[in-house]
Structure 1
Amino acid sequence: MIAKSIEKMLSENQEHFLIPAEMVANVQENNFLDHALLVLTKVRYAKIPVLDNDYKFKGLLSLSMITETMLGLDELDVSKLHEIYVKDVMETDMPTIQDPYDIENVLHLLVDHPFLSVVSNDGSFTGIVTRRELMKSLNHIAHEFEKDYTVQAIETKEEK
């Protein structure tokens, strides 16, 4: 359980954690991999959300998923990229969160994921919460905590 004072300070910045959907690069599940490769290369992200035609979240696509399809025995074969759909190689088994989200859950999930996709009740993609944005908030807390709270060490048995 997160200490109440830390949770309070994190909650004060919670609205800044969400990067809205319109600011997040994505591809559609029916795009071909050659298009997805261009998008990933242009935005310089390792992984991006995959949406359907109704902007419902479907999964994630990474550069490594695309390059895996290009691997041949002796060389890279890019000729298949315009024949394979994003939905054929995307990752579909990943955690998502709904807004409003539980900060403690987000902290646990961001240990293993650089960002979490935020979806509405109907599955619409509303944005992402990134490890970077949360770390900025934790950095703020680390520097400002004692301005708002008095910290007193508890004596341990060894110190008594």
Structure 2
Amino acid sequence: MLDKNAIQFYDKDEKVWELKKKRVTDQRCNQSSHFVEGSFYGGRETMTIDRLKQSQLMSKEISDLIISHEKVAHVQLQNPLDHALLILIKSGYTAIPVLDNDFRVRGQISKNEILDSILGLERLEIERLHDITVETVMKKKIPRLKTDTTFSKALTTSINHPFICIEDEEASFVGILTRSSILALVNRYFQQST
């Protein structure tokens, strides 16, 4: 627990924030804890993050984590939205890659983008699903990585994306890297190192 004396307080006379720097003991893990640049860090968490940064895991290539293109649901640019929606519903995914005829990634399509495209003023215009192509509503700016990308780069990229499309040197679709596979590897690393 945090000591009552180790808190941030406001000096009204000088109108300056001060941080009282005092060593406190985290009684939960019996390790020394301290304030660093205005934030509280426990000894165990700081040590684990430092160990992760220094490990070989961060420089490892992502090739072992890639889900192969044969196992990934996807649609083509010319597919109608009703086909894309069917694929999304059957697969259980919220978004899938969009590929061209040369098997290159051109974007991704999600349930939200499909529903936004058929949203009328008073109702969903479902009859329009067959007339609109995937290419017209897909998201074109998506993250992409190469097969030899380091785990560190993949981890950073995955923060805001549930999956990342992986391409080879010729920009052909190889598969996807999911955020859950990245987190699973980090979890295994921490379980083995404790």
TM band (smaller chain)? 0.7 to 0.9
Alignment of 1:19-98 (within 5 A): 19-98=67-146
Provide the C-alpha distance between the structure 2 equivalents of 1:9 and 1:120, rounded to a whole number of angstroms. 21
1:3 Cα deviation after fit: 2.1
Contact 1:16 1:133 in 2 (8 A): no
Q: Which has the higher helix share?
A: 1
- Mark the runs of 5 or more structure 2 residues left unpaired by the alignment: 1-49
1:3 corresponds to which of 44, 48, 53? 53
The answer as to 2:152 corresponding to 1:101 is: no
1:9 Cα deviation after fit: 7.6
Contact 1:115 1:130 in 2 (8 A): yes
Residues 117-138 of structure 1: per-residue CA shift (max 9 Å, x gap): 0012222110011111111111
Contact 1:57 1:125 in 2 (8 A): yes
Residues 41-61 of structure 1: per-residue CA shift (max 9 Å, x gap): 100100000001121111000
Higher relative contact order (CA 8 A, sep 6+): 1
1:145 Cα deviation after fit: 1.1
Alignment of 1:136-147 (within 5 A): 136-146=184-194
Contact 2:58 2:152 in 1 (8 A): no
The answer as to 2:57 corresponding to 1:17 is: no
The answer as to 2:172 corresponding to 1:124 is: yes
The answer as to 2:161 corresponding to 1:113 is: yes
Residue type at the aligned position of 1:3: K
Once the two structures are aligned, what percentage of the paired residues are identical? Answer: 35
Structure number with bigger Rg: 2
Q: Match of 2:129, SS?
A: helix
TM-score, reference length from structure 2: 0.70
When the two structures are aligned, how many residues end up with a matched partner? 144
| Alpha carbons of structure 1 residues 8 and 37: separation in structure 2 relative to 1, 3 Å | closer
RMSD of aligned alpha carbons:
1.8
Contact 1:30 1:85 in 2 (8 A): yes
Residues 72-104 of structure 1: per-residue CA shift (max 9 Å, x gap): 111111111111110000011111000111211
Provide the C-alpha distance between the structure 1 equivalents of 2:71 and 2:116, rounded to a whole number of angstroms. 28
Provide the C-alpha distance between the structure 1 equivalents of 2:75 and 2:89, rounded to a whole number of angstroms. 12
Q: Match of 1:97, SS?
A: strand
Q: Match of 1:60, SS?
A: strand
Q: Match of 2:166, SS?
A: strand
TM-score, reference length from structure 1: 0.84
Provide the C-alpha distance between the structure 1 equivalents of 2:167 and 2:182, rounded to a whole number of angstroms. 18
Provide the C-alpha distance between the structure 1 equivalents of 2:57 and 2:145, rounded to a whole number of angstroms. 20
Q: Which has the higher strand share?
A: 2
